[in-house]
Each structure stands twice: as structure tokens, then as C-alpha cells.
A and B are shown apart, each in its own frame.
Chain A
Amino acid sequence: MLSRVASSLYWMSRYIERAENVARLLDVNLQLLLDFRSLDDEKLRAHWMPIVQTTGDQESFVQQHQRATAAAVADFMVFRQENPNSIVSSICQARENARMVRDQITIEMWEELNRLYLFMLSPQARQRWQDSPTDFFNEIKAGSLQLVGLSYATHIHNEGWWFSEAGRFIERADKTSRILDLRYHTLPARGLPKVVNQTDALEWSAVLRSCSGWDAFKSSYGAEVHPRHVAEFLLLNEDFPRSIRFCVERLNDALRKISGVSDRRFSNDAEKLCGRLAAELQFATVEEVFNAGLHDYIDQIQLKLNQIGNELFKVYIFHAFDPGGAEHFVQQEEQQQQA
């Protein structure tokens, strides 16, 4: 299929997944604030800045807002078009990519995505947000889930669909890793924490809720929330659909389906790196992770995910002739006749 189309399907999925994850993250953390007694600026900052950092936009936020209040962070991460990782930006990008490949996606998908886009840009969005942030976020999540569902149920599972799967799972793995990393500053640099106080426990359960993993976690580990278990669950669990291992394994499947190569070999660097990462997660133990330091371990994963994404593009989208990036079409300079 056309490289451009594969790229658009990949990014459409990635942006939809991104919007959903940001919605999830903000929703849970806003609710979390209600559980705290007193909040001064310092506490607020400590609470919100890591969240802003999950999208890597700390500098830009600091420039635009004085205090890290709930309102400021939400505004920045939901409605700001200047923030390329905000929900509105993600949905606009998703829709733009979808529009480029209109004929590749089903009518229902386009209509739903367009509806979500029009909603985000309308005054109703702000109104809904003011009235009830939770309802607002549910709207976003519902829209995104509908799109994922439509994609599974109505989009023919051809090469293009596997590219959108790849985009979805790379994004989900990346975002889960960032959510898991939210509270790393409450952990020792190496090794497991001895004691977990109530505040920390609440924050760690917020981490789980941000990934919609609370119920699944409870059924595996019971109601006691210890970072060791949370990390094990979100990093290494092979059955939970939002765990990093699960996502990497699905990504691996997608890559193999695209190239047609079995997963016992690799035919390009993306497959090689992804296979390695999957194997690593399959055979890691949570003690090893904490001995290396959770934060550092997660950093490495994010790096590897980036590499896999880049290699994917190099092999299928850009090939030999296209280093990627913006295509600048330039006229050759002409010489004046002036002898």
C-alpha cells in the first residue's frame, strides 16, 4: 500500500489513543485531588507537574501558567491548540490524518471522528467541562473507544489496519510507561520502598485508575496497593490490555503481519528491536526492575519504543529516498543574463 496511507493510518490511531490516555489521566487525577485535605501551591505543583511532564511539555506549561492548579493544567492539556499533545490537538491531528485517507476507513469511523472533532471545537465542550469534568472526559473516552471498536469490527484487517494497530500499541505502551513513572520521586533510587503511607497508596491507586486497571489489579493482588505490585502489573502482566508487555507483544504481532515474516526471525530493525523488547519484558522480574531503578528502567523502555517507531518509518514509509521530515520542494536557482 502507499507509504503515505500507511503513515496516516498509523498516526490516526496514535493520536486517538493519545487523546484517550490524556483524558484518562486528567480525570483520575482531578478526582484524586478531592481526596486530599489541604493543598498548598507546593503540594499542587508536586501533584500536577509530573502529569504535565508525561506529555513532555513542562517548559511550555511553565511559560504560559503561573500556578499549577487543576484548572490551569486541565486547560493546558485539554483545550490548548498550541500544545501539540493536548486532547484537542490530538483529535485535530487524528482527524486530519483520517481525512487524507478517507477512502481507507469506513464511513462510520469518519463520521464518529468528525463528530468528536466538531464537539471539541464547539462551545459545548467547554460548557460540558465546566459543568462536570468527569462527564466531559467520559465523552472523550467513549468516542475513542467507539473508534477503536469500529476499527476492530468494521475495518478490514489488511496491511493498513496493522499499521494502525502498530500506532495504537506504540502509543499505549508509551503512555502507560509515563503514567507508571508519575510517582517515581516517592520511590528510592534503587530497590523497593519499605513503607507505603496512605497518601502514597492513594496516588498509586490513581496510577492504576489512570490505566483503567484498578479492577483487574484487585483481582490479581487484592486491595493493598504497593508500588511493587503496581509496577509488576503495568509493566509485566501478559493479560492486561494496557500493560506495557501486552502492548509490545501486540506491536510485535503487527510488525510481523505487515512484513509476513514469522516472529522467530526478523526482517528489519524495527522487528529486531521489538522482538528483543518483548523478550525482555517476558522474562524480566519486578525485583530486577526495581534494582535497576524503576525510573531508569522506564526511561530505557521509552527510548526503545521511540527507536522502534523510527525504524518502522525508515523501512516502510521513507525507504532510501526519503529522510523524512517536512518535504521542502525548492526551485533551482536560475542565473541572470548579464554579460
Chain B
Amino acid sequence: MTAVAKTEPTGLNLDGAANNGFFDEMFGRDGSAAGHYRKLRDTFSQISSDDFKTKRNSVDLAFLRQGVTFNVYGDSRGTERVFPFDLVPRIIPAKEWELIERGLVQRITALNLFLHDIYHEQRILKDGVVPAHYVLSGKHFRREFVNFAVPKDIYIHICGTDLIRDDQGNYLVLEDNGRCPSGVSYVLENRRAMKRTFRNMFEQVGVRPVEHYPQELLKSLQHIAPAGVAEPTIALLTPGAHNSAYFEHTYLARQMGIEIVEGRDLFVREEHVFMRTTKGLKPVHVIYRRIDDDYLDPTVFRRDSMLGVPGLIQAYRAGNVSLANSIGTGIADDKVMYYFVPRMIGYYLDQKPILPNVPTYLASEEADLKYILANLDRLVVKAANESGGYGMLMGPKATKEEIAEFRKRIIAEPRNYIAQPMISLSTHPTYVDGGFEGRHVDLRPFILCGEKTVIVPGGLTRVALRKGSLVVNSSQGGGSKDTWVLYGDE
């Protein structure tokens, strides 16, 4: 055990925050801080704990006042909760990020090619690389959308891919979110908060900026405008103020300088979409929609949806309005299709995946099913179409009753379940109860597909604030950190 440099008695001490057995972002096995964390460690040792407390309080207050909050489902009192923010940033050296970036670009390219294929020729199904019934039985495979021409052949324009690190420090893809991924507003606000709070550190450390995300998003939206429209009107379609991510919707709309609309503000006439404004009907050319397929158009999808726009799909089909993300992308982030993504990369790109999947078992494959049922107490079982951490069994932490319940469900509907070994997420020093301890983290970079594929350096690092917990979602006790991608390696 190497001697750790003594810090000032009044300074913050991050040492000792590493957990045994897990890969820690900051500390190696021997307890020494990785090179790219050195400057952070030094800076923190100059900050007194009172000073630190003041900084934390002012950040929390600022977030609350600005409305960097989320609505907890079911809370109608108009009070919102701040998404807890930890001041210790997660740092990624340049060469690690370069690998992540290459891997993500490869993955999103394959996913978009896959989507184009299954909504047109379906060659990957005909060649048996992916069994057809997995696609056809997918809840999000939209038959209404087959043979549709999509602007610039891009299906997923905005993707949030969740990455974790195993105990060897390898980056693995946990899942893709290709429908309405959220969280990027926290990325931007976290960075602003950190810059205000640790101004000097930024100058010393050399962190790549993230502020250009809204401009890049706007560019990719402009890229898909219908042919012949020189200055497209772009709008963000939101379910409304009751939605848990409403803050992000308004935030992004404001940052991009586009109008935020609800379904009832839009109107389709002869397959063109219009906004109802005080000065009359104004045409809309591109819609960044944060509403799920099912609720988008009551004449095509759910008949009872009050959130959508009747006739929108016809307008889309006629090429008079473009949607980001496109319809039917949910089949690509289906947890069962996830299993086949490495095969997609091989089939469409003739390459091996740069970022591997987490080892996965499909309950609908017989051999896998046997394995799953025999090892329920050691596996994490997920329902194929749920998100947010619900519909999930954490084998090693579950009770006998919970395991028995899941066994029944899996046997009843095997197509709906996948299982993965409990991957120990990496940990990161996080401020808890007056000191620093390791807490599990993951990483969600945001990938934009426009004329080029652009990934804003870093992304949202989510941290499970409860000790030992592996669940990082905001609705279940998670928090976030700023993510720093360095220009260099230190």
C-alpha cells in the first residue's frame, strides 16, 4: 500500500473513497489516484470543507431557482425536485474518449442501417441473421411505417447510449435509447454550475466544452428539413407541463431558439403541418418530438391519445414535415434487439464491435432460458420494453418471493425478458454525509446524427446515491455529476 500524500488538515480529502472489488474511476487497485485526476485532487485539497458546503448549497439553490428539476410522476402540487448533483466531476482522458467515440459512431451507424433495412427490404431477416419473429413481435415495430421514405435515410437523430465499466475497467454498452432520450439538459446545466463554482480549475485542467450541443442539435434538425425548404421552421413537440422531462423540453427549445408546442397547437391540412399562432397558421417543417410513437397521431396509433396531432403521419408520409427521431425507432432500442446489435455491426459494417455488449441471455432462446431459470438469484432480469429501472429483477438482492414472481412471468412470456450477469458498475468518489465515498456510476453520452455524427464530449454521468445501490435513475434515488473529457491524457 503506497503512502498517500498527506493533505492539508482543512482541505478536502478524496482518498480512501475507493471501494474494494470494484473498478474505481479515480483510484487504482493500490489506492493511488490516476494521472488524469491528479489536478482535481490537488485543487480539492485546497478547499476547506466549509467552503465546499457553501459551494454545494449555492449550486442546489441555483438549480431550484432556475427550475433544473424534474416532476416526480404523480406529484401534482407543482413542487419539483432538484436532480441531486454531486460536485466531484468524473474525468475521462482523451485516449479513452477517442475509443468511446469510435465505438459509439460505429454503433449508431449500424442501428440506423438496421432500421432502414427492417422498414424496407428486411434483408437481415431474410438472411436469418436476426430471427424475424423478434422484430415482428416487437412492441415498437411499426407496421404502419414500412416502405416509408425517411429524410436523408436517418431514423435515429438523437441517441443516448448508456455505458458502464466492468471490474477490469472495460467500457461496455448497457443499452441504447433511441426514442426520446433525456438528460442532456442536466449535462449542460451541470457544466454551467461547475464553471461558476470551480472557475480556476477549468483553466488549469483543460476540459473540452459541451455548450455547443444545442447548436449541433439544431443543425441536425435543419439537415432533415423537407426538400426545397430554405429556412425550415422547427418546433419541439412536448406532451406538456405534466411530463417529468418538461424542464428539458423548454430548456432545449429555448437554447435552440425554436418554438415549443403541444399537440393541440398543431394542425394538419392537406398533409402540411401548421402551428396555430396569434398571427394565423404558420407552417412547420421539422418537429423534434418528445412524444412516444403511440401518442403521436390518433388516426394511426392510439385512438384515444389527446397528446398527438391527427394527420401528422400523413404529412410525414407525404414528405412535408420531418420528425426527429423518426417513427418506429423503438425496435432498435428494444432490450431483445440489443442482443443482436453486435451481429448488426458485423452484417452491415463487416466489423467487430469496438464497444462490446454486456453478456446477455434471451429468455426466448431455449438454451438461454434454461440458464436463466437456473440462475435467477445471480442475474439481473429486465423486461424488454420497460425503461426507468422498473420491471427489473436484481437477482442477488431479491427476495425469494420476488424471484418466484419473476420466474412465473418469464415462463409466461419469454419473449419479453432478457437477463444479464450483475455487472459491477465502476465507482467514483462522491460526497455523502460529510465525506467522500465510492458510489456506482454509469455514463450516457448523447449522439447526434445529422450531416455528420456528432458526440458532445462526455455526457451525463449518473450516480447511484444510495450506498451499494446500482440503480442510477432520477426517479429512483439517482444523482448526476459533470463529466470532463480532457484535451490531453492528464
Contacts and interface: CB of A to CB of B under 8 A. Distances in A.
A and B touch in the complex (CB under 8 A): yes
Interface of A: 1-4, 6, 95, 99-100, 102-103, 107, 114, 117-118, 159, 163, 258, 316-317, 319, 321-322, 327, 329, 331
B77 to A, nearest CB: 7
Contacts of A107: 65-67
Given A4-B262, A319-B276, A327-B264, 20 more contacts: A2-B275, A2-B276, A2-B277, A2-B278, A3-B277, A95-B78, A102-B241, A102-B250, A103-B250, A103-B253, A103-B254, A107-B66, A107-B67, A118-B77, A118-B78, A258-B278, A317-B278, A319-B280, A329-B298, A329-B306
Contacts of B276: 2-4, 319, 321-322
Interface of B is mostly: mixed
B281 interface: yes
Contact of B241 (A6, A99, A114): A99
Interface in B150-190: none
A29 to B, nearest CB: 32
Nearest to A160: B278
A103 B306 CA distance: 22
Contacts of A118: 77-78
A3 B278 contact: yes
Nearest to B298: A329
A61 to B, nearest CB: 29
B417 interface: no
A95 B77 CA distance: 11
Interface of B: 65-67, 77-79, 240-241, 246, 250, 253-254, 259-262, 264-265, 267, 275-281, 298, 303, 306, 310
Contacts of A95: 78
Nearest to A260: B279
B267 A321 contact: yes
Given A2-B275, A102-B246, A319 B281 contact: yes
A154 to B, nearest CB: 13
Contacts of B262: 4
A319 B278 CA distance: 8
A232 B278 CA distance: 37
A182 to B, nearest CB: 36
A327 B310 CA distance: 13
15 contacts: A2-B278, A3-B277, A95-B78, A102-B67, A102-B241, A102-B250, A103-B260, A107-B65, A159-B278, A258-B278, A316-B279, A319-B276, A321-B276, A329-B298, A329-B310
A114 B78 contact: yes
B361 to A, nearest CB: 43
Contacts of A327: 264
A200 to B, nearest CB: 46
Interface of A is mostly: helix
Given A103-B254, A107-B67, A321-B267, A316 B306 contact: no
Contacts of A103: 250, 253-254, 260
Given A319-B280, A329-B298, A3 B265 contact: yes
Given A100-B241, A103-B260, A1 B78 contact: no
Choose among B250, B277, B281 the residue with the greatest number of A CB atoms under 10 Å from its CB: B277
B303 A331 contact: yes
The 7 A-B residue pairs with the shortest CB-CB distance in the complex, in nearest-first order = A103-B250, A316-B278, A3-B276, A114-B78, A6-B278, A2-B265, A99-B241
B192 to A, nearest CB: 16
Nearest to B238: A103
A285 B67 CA distance: 52
B259 A99 contact: no
A157 to B, nearest CB: 16
A103 B241 CA distance: 10
Contacts of A99: 78, 241
A321 B79 CA distance: 36
Nearest to B274: A321
A264 to B, nearest CB: 22
A107 B80 CA distance: 13
A4 B306 contact: no
Nearest to A322: B276
Contacts of A317: 278
Contacts of B240: 100
A114 B275 CA distance: 29
Nearest to A108: B65
A10 B281 CA distance: 20
Choose among A99, A321, A329 the residue with the greatest number of B CB atoms under 10 Å from its CB: A329
Contacts of B303: 331
A103 B156 CA distance: 27
B377 to A, nearest CB: 46
Contacts of A114: 78-79
Contacts of B79: 114
Contacts of A322: 276
Choose among A2, A4, A6, A159 the residue with the greatest number of B CB atoms under 10 Å from its CB: A2
B293 to A, nearest CB: 19
Nearest to A118: B77
B245 to A, nearest CB: 13
Choose among A3, A159, A317 the residue with the greatest number of B CB atoms under 10 Å from its CB: A3
Contacts of B65: 107
Contacts of A258: 278
Contacts of A3: 265, 276-278
B178 to A, nearest CB: 26
Contacts of B253: 103
Contacts of B241: 99-100, 102
A147 to B, nearest CB: 15
Contacts of B66: 107
Nearest to A3: B276
B375 to A, nearest CB: 48
